[in-house]
Amino acid sequence: MVLAQVAQYFSGATNNQHNDTRPLSLVDGAVKPTDNDSTTSPPNLVEEAEEELEERRPLYRHATLAGGIGGLTGDMLMHSLDTVKTRQQGDPHRPPRYHSLGNTYLTILKEEGVPRGLYGGVTPAAIGSFGGTCLFFGSYEWSKRWMLEAGLAPSLAYLNAGLFADLVASPLYVPTEVLKTRLQLQGRYNNPYFRSGYNYKSTWNAAKTIVRAEGFAALFYGFRATLYRDLPFSALQFAFYEKEREAAKWWVGSKHIGLPLEILVGATAGGAAGTITCPLDVVKTRIQTQLRPRTAHAQSAAPAPTPNRKPTPDTNQRRLISTTSPSTHLPKPGSVNLDTSSVVTGLRLIYRTEGIAGWFRGVGPRAVWTSVQSGTMLVLYQALLRKFDSWSEADEGDLGIAD
């Protein structure tokens, strides 16, 4: 009986009817095809992998909005530290008016308050942060998917997607950073406590004044320096982040890794990227904050501001202050003036005069800043993605019930 069924299985009639090439097994005295052969496993594994990958892909509008909100929250949380560092970097007074981090915080808070003091320049900061990170995350998701589907190795796809996304966001990000940085350095209008060389009434007044006095191109000052530092940072940050999340998912055995791990992954990705790119931050800051000899001489000869004396804006001054995300490098007193706009030349000069330690001056504060900002942004990003996805599923369910 069994032999007859075997013969029938291999007969042409059976092949024409079923075209089933699965192997045979004895079940209840009869030969039947099995369902768990290795020949069917690869297609199933491929389908499962594709389904899992599809589940990980948020809608573009969700990724864009979640990234914008996350980036805005992280930047607003750290804005006061950004202001303090901007004041320290751009302080034209000799000797410097600000010293330690705590001293700068307390001095600005006491003399100028919060809205136009510690949170000076918050309006352009918010516009640039939300708009820039919306563009960043939308571009990142699109480019990452395109490269993965093209067969690029995941690590390279994450790295290149971070580079591309930061490049897309920078045309919006840099002009708002120029406005933000100048307003942070200025403080309140007619500031009697700090002579910055700037004296704008508002964000709109700052934009009009810069364009009228210096030309439209002045809004993009520091664009090249932004690319030199922020493109490698974003590339490394998201390469680390994606791989760390994969490891965390494997560790917990679920695609939801929980809040503690989300915070750890986001913070360590940002901190590691910030540490590695510290030399680029150092040379960028030194190039952008150094004063030209003529300007430095004029400022040293000028009288210090007093509470009863309004500062006079210096229309001829073009201080090379930082115009990107907050730098945490403060040049060592007596450090050599780089006198160059070349990042490579600047790195060589710092290494020759200060050694490796000069490249990593201020690495501690930079690691802290990038860890906190990155952790806040990426944790909110993932939380909002889950919330948006749940809302979409609920809407689809309601539509299904209505039908």
Residues 6+ apart with CB under 8 A from 181: 86, 90, 121, 321, 322, 323
Amino acid present at 111: E
Helices (H) and strands (E) counted in the chain, each on its own, are 16, 2
Residue 49 has a CB neighbour count (10 Å cut-off) of 10
Q: Which residue has the tokens 């190795």?
A: 153
- Running DSSP on this structure, what letter comes out for residue 57? -
Helix (H) / strand (E) containing 24:
strand 24-27
- d(CA 162, CA 69) in angstroms, rounded, equals 18
With a CB cutoff of 8 Å and minimum separation 6, the contacts of 47 are none
Closest CA to 363 of 284, 276, 294, 257: 276
Other CB atoms within a 10 A radius of the CB of residue 11 amount to 11
Torsion 292-296-302-305 (CA) sign: positive
Q: Which tokens is 200 given?
A: 């704008």
10 DSSP assignment:
T
Q: d(Cα 26, Cα 32) in Å, to the nearest integer?
A: 6
Q: What is the CA angle 193-330-130, rounded to 5?
A: 80
Reported pTM? 0.70
Q: What is the CA radius of gyration of the chain?
A: 29
Helix (H, G, I), strand (E, B) or coil at 323: coil
pLDDT tens for each residue of the chain, 403 residues long: 443 443 443 344 444 444 444 444 434 444 444 444 444 444 444 444 444 544 557 888 999 999 999 999 999 988 988 888 778 766 667 777 777 778 888 989 998 888 888 999 999 999 999 999 999 999 999 999 999 999 999 989 999 999 999 999 999 988 998 898 888 888 888 888 887 778 898 999 999 999 999 899 888 876 777 788 888 999 999 999 999 999 999 999 988 899 999 999 999 999 999 999 988 887 776 765 454 444 444 444 444 444 444 444 444 444 444 444 455 555 555 456 666 667 788 888 888 888 888 888 778 778 888 899 899 999 999 999 989 888 877 766 655 544 4
Residues in the chain: 403
| The token pair that represents 30 in the structure block | 């009869």
Question: Which secondary structure element, helix H or strand E, spans residue 30, and what is its range?
Answer: strand 30-33
Q: What's the rounded Cα separation, in Å, for the pair 81 and 105?
A: 8
Instruction: Give the list of residues 6+ apart from residue 306 with CB closer than 8 angstroms, or none.
Output: 192
Residue 398 neighbours by CB distance under 10 Å? 10
Q: How many CB atoms are located within 10 Å of the residue 9 CB?
A: 16
Task: Give the number of other CB atoms < 10 A from CB of residue 173.
Answer: 25
Sign, CA dihedral 156-157-159-164, equals positive
Over the range 266-305, which residues count as b (16 or more CB within 10 Å of their CB) and which as e?
A: bbbbbbbbbbbbbbbbbbbbbbbbbbeeebeeebeeeeeb
